[in-house]
């Protein structure tokens, strides 16, 4: 063990309880028992923290408990003192503790995010659940105004560059210059995010390793407790660590799915504008941390550079009757489109559910589909597409588009930001659409046979959009992809 000398007795005591040696980081030692986990903070001083006194360690352990317990009830138990008895042995107690530990419940190794990636356990359902979890987490955080997150991003860049140079990574200066330039270009936007309440006291270290399954659902844990400034950030920057981790370790499709679920629940389309710098920062953090641990971080270094590379955004509309496979096509196509982690999907069904304050899978009554509600949803779809275009991010708009006027309005909106709209009209035999609707389970669409028949009677056709035969979903996707590539 590399626990400091003054903590060796406490470490031996905890090792005996756990039945083995701890898992260690540079600031903690975690002792894993059959039912209980004890976390000991090491008596160390680093440029960004000071754990050298028992009182300081106790304070940070209590802060860690305070930050994490609300999101994972039962996982985080309490902070316990370790006392020396008259015979010199150690025990837990409150009378003049010589050390402190955070007590937690044991989580099976296979239920941590890292293991789920390695074991191909990140199903589409779990990726959606993770997106829901992070959205719920961020909604529960109060805004912190006046944090000047724009300046903080520049300080983070400087710190990352220093750490990268110290770790011997090449091109740190080049990356730093590009990051500063990209941040300066977004300075006004970053300040606006602060004013609009998107800067909050977040998790701060939200990567796959800090998400686990607890009582059957994903929960975040081990929030950054030792530096309030490092954790007082834009919620989109908090999300970006998870998305970068998914992108690099589970693939672009996994990152895109979680991003889109988060966006469907929060509607924070404006946050896309920060992804180039946010993803790059997170990748650089991972690169220099790995290098400092004598691991190969060059792939993350390359990713940090690639995330900053400008990409031309696309606006794609996918229309057609209910059951033509619009959402299936949009989900498959979205990861292909730049910038990372792929296009945002603006699905009218999901936007309607968010408008009414329910989950995407919860059915709405017929009154939610009144002419007034339809107009409101259509306006939100168009406005969201404009926000994505303004952010420089590709978007796929998924709606029936039975109203030709909505098509024109969408084209006009994205054109304001120099983005061209490409429309596709999916079509298939009514008998096939009926079978698809009847087979739906757990989908955001509330379409019924009656809805389909009414839509079919008002079918305006492709118009000036490209007609796509959606009888075969794979062939339809291939046709759309080919058209986009050759545009």
In this structure, the answer to whether residues 432 and 468 fall within a common structural domain is yes
Average pLDDT over residues 272-279: 98
Question: Could you tell me the CATH number of the domain that includes residue 184?
Answer: 3.90.1200.10
0.75 surpassed by pTM: yes
Task: For residue 88, give the 3-state DSSP assignment.
Answer: coil
CA 351 – CA 356 distance, rounded (Å): 9
pLDDT band at 487 (very low <50, low <70, confident <90, very high): low
Both 83 and 168 in one domain: the answer is no
On average, the pLDDT of the chain sits at 96
Residues in the chain: 487
Cβ neighbours of residue 196 closer than 8 Å, sequence gap 6 or more? 270
Task: Output the domain CATH number for residue 335.
Answer: 3.40.50.300
Among residues 224, 3, 258, 266, the alpha carbon closest in space to that of 113 is found at 258
298 and 195 in a common domain: yes
Question: Which of 386 and 171 is assigned the larger pLDDT?
Answer: 386
Residue 300 sits in the same domain as residue 377: no
Same domain, 238 and 330: no
Query: Domain boundary at 106, 131, 166, which?
Result: 106
User: How confident is the model over 324-343, as a mean pLDDT?
Assistant: 98
Closest C-alpha to 222, from 233, 232, 212, 230: 212
User: Are 94 and 40 found together in one domain?
Assistant: yes
The pLDDT of residue 46 is 84
Residue-number span of the structural domain to which 358 is assigned: 315-485
Q: Are 268 and 393 in contact (CB under 8 A)?
A: no
CB atoms within 10 A of CB 188: 10
> Quick one: 282 and 151 in the same domain?
yes
Summarised one tens digit per residue, pLDDT across range 133-186 is: 999 999 999 999 999 999 999 999 999 999 999 999 999 999 999 999 999 999
* pLDDT over 70 percentage in the chain: 100
pLDDT in tens, 189-226: 999 999 999 999 999 999 999 999 999 999 999 999 99
Residues 6+ away with beta carbon under 8 Å from 23 = 29, 30, 32
Indicate whether 14 pLDDT > 80.
yes
Q: Which pLDDT does position 362 carry in this prediction?
A: 97
- Do residues 292 and 421 share a domain? no
Q: Of 85, 106, 127, which residue sits at a domain end? A: 106
Give the number of domains in the chain: 3
Q: Which of 307, 337, 352 is a domain's end point?
A: 307
Position 18 pLDDT exceeds 60: yes
Residue 486, pLDDT above cutoff 90: no
Q: Is 89 exposed, middle or buried (0-12, 13-18, 19+ CB in 10 A)?
A: exposed
198 and 170 together in one domain = yes
**Same domain (yes/no): 149, 226:** yes
- 392 and 298 assigned to the same domain: no
69-120 per-position pLDDT tens digit: 999 889 999 999 999 999 999 999 999 999 999 999 999 999 999 999 999 9
Q: Are 29 and 37 in contact (CB under 8 A)?
A: no
One domain, residues 207 and 295: yes
pLDDT at 47: 79
Residue 1 pLDDT: 57
Backbone φ, ψ for residue 108 (5° rounding): -55, 140
282-329 confidence digits (pLDDT tens): 999 999 999 988 999 999 999 999 999 999 999 999 999 999 999 999
Q: What is the CATH number of the domain that holds 25?
A: 3.30.200
Tokens of 364: 């709405």
Tokens of 134: 């992070």
User: Across the strands, what pairs with 45?
Assistant: 50
Report helix, strand or coil for 92.
strand
């Amino acid at each position: 063990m590399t626990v400091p000398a003054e903590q060796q007795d406490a470490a031996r005591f905890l090792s005996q309880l756990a039945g083995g040696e701890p898992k260690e980081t540079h600031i903690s030692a975690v002792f894993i028992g059959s039912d209980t986990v004890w976390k000991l903070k090491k008596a160390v001083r680093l440029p960004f923290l000071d754990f050298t006194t028992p009182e300081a360690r106790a304070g940070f352990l209590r802060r860690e408990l305070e930050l994490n317990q609300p999101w994972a009830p039962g996982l985080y138990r309490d902070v316990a003192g370790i006392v020396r008895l008259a015979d010199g042995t150690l025990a837990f107690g409150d009378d003049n503790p010589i050390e402190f530990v955070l007590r937690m419940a044991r989580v099976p190794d296979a239920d941590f995010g890292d293991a789920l990636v390695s074991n191909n356990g990140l199903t589409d359902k779990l990726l959606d659940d993770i997106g829901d979890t992070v959205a719920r987490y961020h909604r529960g955080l109060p805004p912190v105004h006046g944090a000047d997150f724009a300046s903080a991003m520049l300080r983070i860049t400087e710190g990352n560059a220093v750490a990268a140079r110290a770790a011997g990574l090449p091109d740190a200066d080049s990356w730093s210059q590009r990051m500063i330039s990209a941040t300066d270009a977004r300075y006004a936007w970053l300040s606006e995010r602060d004013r609009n309440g998107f800067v909050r006291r977040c998790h701060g270290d939200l990567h796959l390793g800090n998400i686990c399954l607890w009582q059957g659902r994903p929960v975040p844990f081990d929030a950054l407790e030792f530096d309030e400034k490092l954790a007082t950030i834009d919620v989109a920057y908090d999300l970006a660590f998870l998305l970068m981790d998914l992108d690099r370790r589970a693939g672009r499709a996994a990152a895109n799915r979680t991003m889109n679920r988060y966006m469907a629940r929060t509607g924070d389309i404006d946050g896309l504008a920060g992804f180039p710098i946010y993803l790059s920062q997170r990748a650089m953090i991972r690169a220099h941390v790995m290098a400092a641990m004598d691991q190969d971080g060059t792939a993350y270094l390359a990713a940090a550079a690639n995330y900053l590379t400008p990409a031309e955004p696309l606006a794609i509309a996918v229309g057609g009757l209910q059951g033509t496979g619009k959402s299936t096509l949009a989900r498959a196509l979205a990861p292909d489109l730049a910038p990372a982690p792929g296009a945002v999907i603006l699905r009218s069904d999901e936007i309607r559910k968010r408008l009414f304050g329910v989950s995407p899978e919860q059915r709405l009554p017929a009154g939610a589909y009144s002419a007034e509600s339809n107009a409101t949803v259509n306006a939100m779809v168009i406005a969201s597409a404009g926000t994505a275009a303004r952010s420089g991010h590709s978007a796929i708009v998924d709606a029936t588009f039975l109203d030709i006027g909505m098509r024109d309005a969408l084209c006009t909106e994205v054109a304001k930001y120099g983005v061209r709209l490409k429309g596709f009209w999916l079509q298939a035999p009514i008998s096939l659409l009926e079978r698809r609707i009847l087979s739906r389970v757990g989908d955001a669409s509330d379409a019924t046979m009656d809805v389909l028949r009414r839509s079919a009677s008002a079918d305006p056709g492709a118009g000036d959009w490209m007609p796509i035969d959606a009888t075969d979903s794979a062939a339809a996707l291939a046709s759309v992809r080919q058209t986009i590539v050759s545009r």
